Every structure is written in C-alpha cells, then in structure tokens.
C-alpha cells in the first residue's frame, strides 16, 4: 500500500486525513498563528503526534502544531528522491585491486526522513560520486555483507566476515577494506585478528566518527587512508585505520588486538593501548612506526578460523559487587567469563564463593585490568594469589574486550580447559606483548605548560 502519511500517527495523522493532505504535497496550512505554505515532509517515527512538518520555499523546515490548524489546501505535489551522484568507478591499469566489504557503517550517506537517520551509500559508483579521489588510489570493488549498526555486530557477522575475506584472498585480492560503525569496531577487529591468521594482504577496518553527511566529516579521508593502506602498504595484518589527530592530517594504523575506542565523539577516538600504532598513513604514503609487523606476501594463502562460542561474558568488576552476578552466569550455562578487575586484577572477597562455584562447574575465568594499561599481576597481593588458587587465570595484558573476543573464539574451538588456557595465553596477533614500551602509555594532562605548548604547536 502506498503510504501517503509517512511517519505520521495519532492526532497529526487524523488532521492530515481530515483535510485530505498528504506527504510531499505543496500545501497551504491555515492556523491560528497565521498561514504557512510549504511541502509536507515525512515525520520521524520517534517524534510526537502533535506536529506536522513542512519545508518552506526557503528550504527550512518548520513544525505546525496540529491544534492550531484551521484548514489545509494542497496546491502541488513534489516527492523527493535521494540519490548520490553515481558515476562508474573507473578502472586504472597498474593500481591495486581493493575490495570494500560493507557491514553498515556510514562512509558515504544519505538522509532518511522517517527516522531522521543517515543511510549509507555504498556501491562503487556511489562512493566514487562521494569520494572521487579513490579512483587515484585503487581499483575498487564493493560488496555489502550486512547492513547492521555497529552495536548489532556479533559472532555471526564476525564469522561471515572472516570467511568472506578468506574467499577474497584466495581469489587474489590485494587488499581488504571493511566499512564498520565505530562503536564496536575494536571488537570486530579483535575477532578478525584471531579468525584470520597468517594474512598475505592488509585487512583495514574503517569508519567515521562524525557523520558522513557533514562537509567536515572524517569519513572521506579515512576511506582514502584505508584504501591506500589496503592497496599499497606491506602490512598484512588486521588494522583499524582512523584519524590520528582530530585535524585532517593523517591516520593511524592500529593493530586489531591493541586498539580501543576512547572518546564518544572525537575523530581521534581510536588509540593503541599499551603499545604504539603500527604506522601512520596519509593520502599517498604509509609511514611505519613499528617494524615487527607481518609482511605482505604474494601467495593467496590465509588460515581462516571462524569459530565463536557465544556463552561468554565480560564482567566489569565494581566495589560491592555481589556474588549472584557470577552465580547467574554460571547457572545460565556460560562457558567463559572475562573479569575486568581493579588495579592489578582484583575482585573483593564476597565474590570468592561464587567464583569457586563457577570454576567447579567448569566455567573458564580470565582476569584482565580495567585500568586498560598495564599487565595483570596477581602475585603481588594476597587477593590475587587467592583468586588464582580458585582457578582464575591472569590474562597478561589482553585488553578486556580483546580477552572477551579471544575467549569466545577459543571456546568455539575446544572445551578443554588446558587447550583454552593455552590458546588464551599464546600471543596470536600482538594481543599479548612481551612487555610494555615506555611510550605505550601516554595520556597527557592538559594545563601543564609543556603540554599547552605542544597543543599550540602541533595540530592535535
């Protein structure tokens, strides 16, 4: 059925029907506050039912209170269609072949009236229309694997993504870019890091922090950086490629197992934790920072391990945590728990009995630190020693989210506690490092003279 009243409900819908007015109709609305003339727009489904939205001839939208409406008269009809200028993505001999896999992130986008949301644009043609510079970097192919928001990415998607990438590599692709929402990008990055081992080509995850419908979005530049990395760099690892500073200057390539989103809205939200990023990237260069990365190869071989046990939980410990939190997980059949403990890796005594009960049931428990930086050290205090004796395994410097993903991946392959422990504690993709470099922890504090000087001098 043709929906003439897109998004309208309740009183607003009644009023529209009563006056035989419809969405996209150029309409004169008589109200107690005076006449308004414009095109009736669809209404966002989350907004109230007391207003009708019209677009004035000047391009502005205004809402009209339905209680003030005296009459409506349609004088014309103009339905809008969204279209991103689409041009065929040109093939340039000599440029690397790069595949962009879409998951639902917003790299280029258009607007949706119904929800007020931003809808991604994706085909190569659409992307070329939005970011024509891509054609100078690579020969791009795209495939939309799913259209889910970042928060809805989960084990099913991780596995499908890993398998799809494996196929592309077998077919001889020279680099993979994955468009992804930023909220859980580091979870997916960790998952792919474990599921795709011994990669011959770069796998680059990219998104945008500031929506791509705005002229100052970081999306286009991120995409160029990612495409360049995928096509031209010799770093054959799973990486997150996002802004280095908040300024439009360069991107950073973070190892998929050491990266974390650290700010709710900043462009430079992704940081490598406890280490330094692998490289910096500009529109036409990759400048390595580390040297011990996995190098690009000419073969099309990759080990794909698409496994994941879903009954795994990440528990963020807080003072006064009650034992029933752990009990309920054990009782509900969870097979693994990662605890983000305080300090060096601690929880309080009242939880101990619950931990013992869970371990006795065969639940695998690993300890990480909610300080994010630093290693778990459970020998330092009695608390730690007590916990270890109960069967909690210290997770070295696995980031809590990475430990969660890794435990799900390990339990997906085996239920044997020793094997799980071995998988967990063996570094696979830089997820556990031998130590922490001195410059692996740099959270600068504003206000200090030398920092203020730094901020003034460099585009942060």
Partner 1 sequence: MTVHTKLRMENPHLRNWLLSRENVGWVSLSDAVQATWRTLGFKCGLEIHQQLKTDKKLFCRCAAGIYHDFDDYDAEVVRHMRPTLSELGEYDGTALMEFKTRKKIVYRIKNDSACTYEVDDTPPFPLNREALDQAMRIALLLKMKIVGELHITRKQYLDGSIPTGFQRTTILGIEGAFPISTKTIRVIQFSVEEDSCREVCDIRHTRVYYADRLGMPLIETVTYPDMLTPWEAAEAAQNIRFIARSSGLVRVGIGAAREDVNVSIDGGTRIEIKGVAHIAWIPKLTHNEAFRQKSLLLIRDELAARKIDPASWKIRYTLLDPADWRHIPLLKKASAEGWKLVAVNLPGFSGILSFFNQPGRSFADEISDRLKVIPCLEKPNMLHSEQIDFSLLEPSKERDSVSANDTTLSNDVIPAPGSSTDSLLAGGVDQTGIQVFSGSRNKSGMTAPEFADSVWDKVRKELKATSEDSQIVFWAPDEDIKTALETISERCLLAFKGVPNETRKSLPDGITLFERVLPGADRMYPDTDSAPIPIAEAQIEAARVELPLGLDQRLEQLAQWGIPSDAYTYLLRNNLMPTVEDLSSKYQIAPKRLALYFAHLLKNLQGKDPLPFDPQRVEDLLIYIRKKKLALDILPEMLKVLFANPNMQFSSVLAVLNYKEITVREILAEIPLLQQMWARVKTNGLKRPDALNTWMMGRLRYLALGNMPLAELRQAVEKELSTNYTNSTN
Of the two residues 33 and 385, which places its CB atom closer to partner 1 in the complex? Answer: 33
* 106 tagged catalytic: yes
Sequence-ordered alpha helix ranges (H) in 271-331: 324-331
Q: What's the closest the beta carbon of residue 370 comes to partner 1, in angstroms? A: 24
For residue 231, what is the enclosing H or E element? helix 219-232
For residue 312, what is the enclosing H or E element? strand 312-316
For the four alpha carbons of 128, 129, 132 and 136, in that order, the dihedral sign comes to: positive
- Quick one: which of 4, 38, 7, 47 has its CA closest to 23? 4
For the four alpha carbons of 134, 137, 141 and 147, in that order, the dihedral sign comes to: negative
Q: What's the closest the beta carbon of residue 60 comes to partner 1, in angstroms? A: 5
Residue 19 gets which letter from DSSP? T
In whole angstroms, what is the distance from residue 326 CA to residue 347 CA? Answer: 12
- Quick one: which of 90, 97, 249, 253 has its CA closest to 172? 97
In whole angstroms, what is the distance from residue 374 CA to residue 202 CA? Answer: 28
Cβ atoms of 296 and 234 within 8 Å: the answer is: yes
For the four alpha carbons of 109, 111, 112 and 115, in that order, the dihedral sign comes to: positive
In whole angstroms, what is the distance from residue 106 CA to residue 144 CA? Answer: 12
Residues linked to residue 394 through DSSP beta bridges, in sequence order = 367
Of the two residues 152 and 211, which places its CB atom closer to partner 1 in the complex? Answer: 211
Q: What's the closest the beta carbon of residue 197 comes to partner 1, in angstroms? A: 36
- Catalytic residue (one of 27, 103, 142, 182): 182
Cβ atoms of 297 and 200 within 8 Å: the answer is: yes
- Catalytic residue (one of 261, 269, 368, 433): 261
* 112 tagged catalytic: no
Q: What's the closest the beta carbon of residue 63 comes to partner 1, in angstroms? A: 2
Q: What's the closest the beta carbon of residue 246 comes to partner 1, in angstroms? A: 6
Angle formed at CA 106 by CA 87 and CA 54, multiple of 5 degrees = 85
Q: What's the closest the beta carbon of residue 116 comes to partner 1, in angstroms? A: 5
Of the two residues 247 and 371, which places its CB atom closer to partner 1 in the complex? Answer: 247
* 433 tagged catalytic: no
* 58 tagged catalytic: no
In whole angstroms, what is the distance from residue 12 CA to residue 9 CA? Answer: 6
Of the two residues 283 and 297, which places its CB atom closer to partner 1 in the complex? Answer: 283
In whole angstroms, what is the distance from residue 453 CA to residue 189 CA? Answer: 35
In whole angstroms, what is the distance from residue 433 CA to residue 292 CA? Answer: 12
For the four alpha carbons of 284, 98, 215 and 103, in that order, the dihedral sign comes to: negative
- Catalytic residue (one of 106, 184, 188, 383): 106
Q: What's the closest the beta carbon of residue 107 comes to partner 1, in angstroms? A: 12
Point out which residues bind partner 1 (CB under 8 A): 31, 33-36, 47-48, 50-51, 53, 55-66, 68, 80-85, 109-111, 113, 116-118, 130, 210-217, 220-221, 246-249, 263-267, 452, 455-456, 459-460
Q: Which residues does the annotation mark as catalytic?
A: 106, 182-183, 261
């Amino acid at each position: 059925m043709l929906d003439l009243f897109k998004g309208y409900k309740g009183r607003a819908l009644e009023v529209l029907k009563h006056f035989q007015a419809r969405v996209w109709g150029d309409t004169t609305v008589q109200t107690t506050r005076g006449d308004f003339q414009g095109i009736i727009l669809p209404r966002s489904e989350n907004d109230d039912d007391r207003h009708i939205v019209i677009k004035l001839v000047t391009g502005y939208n205004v809402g009209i209170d339905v209680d003030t409406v005296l009459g409506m008269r349609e004088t014309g009809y103009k339905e809008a269609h969204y279209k991103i200028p689409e041009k065929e993505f040109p093939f340039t001999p000599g440029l690397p072949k790069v595949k962009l896999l879409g998951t639902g992130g917003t790299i280029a986008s258009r607007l949706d009236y119904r929800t007020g949301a931003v809808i991604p644009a994706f085909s190569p043609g659409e992307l070329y229309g939005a970011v024509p510079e891509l054609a100078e970097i690579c020969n791009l192919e795209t495939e939309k694997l799913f259209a889910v928001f970042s928060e809805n990415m989960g084990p099913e998607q991780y596995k499908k993504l890993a398998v799809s990438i494996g196929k592309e590599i077998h077919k001889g692709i020279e680099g993979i870019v994955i468009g992804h929402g930023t909220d859980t990008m580091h979870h997916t990055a960790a998952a792919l890091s474990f599921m795709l081992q011994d990669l011959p080509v770069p796998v680059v995850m990219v998104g945008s922090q500031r929506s791509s419908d705005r002229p100052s979005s970081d999306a286009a530049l991120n995409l160029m950086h990612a495409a360049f990395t995928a096509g031209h760099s010799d770093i054959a690892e799973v990486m997150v490629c996002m802004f280095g500073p908040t300024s439009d200057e360069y991107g950073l390539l973070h190892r998929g197992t050491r990266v974390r989103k650290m700010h709710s809205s900043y462009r430079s939200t992704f940081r490598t934790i406890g280490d330094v990023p692998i490289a910096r990237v500009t529109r036409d260069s990759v400048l390595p920072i580390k040297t011990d990365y996995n190098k690009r190869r000419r073969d099309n071989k990759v080990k794909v391990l698409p496994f994941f046990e879903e009954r795994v939980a990440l528990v963020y410990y807080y003072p006064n945590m009650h034992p029933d939190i752990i009990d309920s997980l054990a009782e509900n059949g969870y097979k693994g728990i990662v605890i983000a403990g305080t300090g060096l890796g601690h929880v309080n005594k009242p939880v101990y009995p619950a931990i013992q009960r869970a371990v006795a049931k065969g639940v695998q428990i690993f300890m990480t630190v909610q300080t994010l930086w630093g290693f778990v050290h459970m020998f330092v205090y009695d608390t730690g020693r007590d916990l270890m004796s109960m069967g909690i395994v210290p997770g070295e410097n696995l980031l809590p989210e990475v430990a969660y993903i890794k435990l799900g991946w390990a339990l997906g392959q085996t239920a044997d506690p020793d094997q799980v422990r071995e998988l967990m504690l063996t570094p696979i993709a830089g997820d556990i490092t031998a130590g922490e470099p001195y410059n692996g922890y740099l959270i600068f504090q504003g206000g200090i003279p030398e920092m203020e000087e730094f901020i003034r001098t460099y585009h942060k």
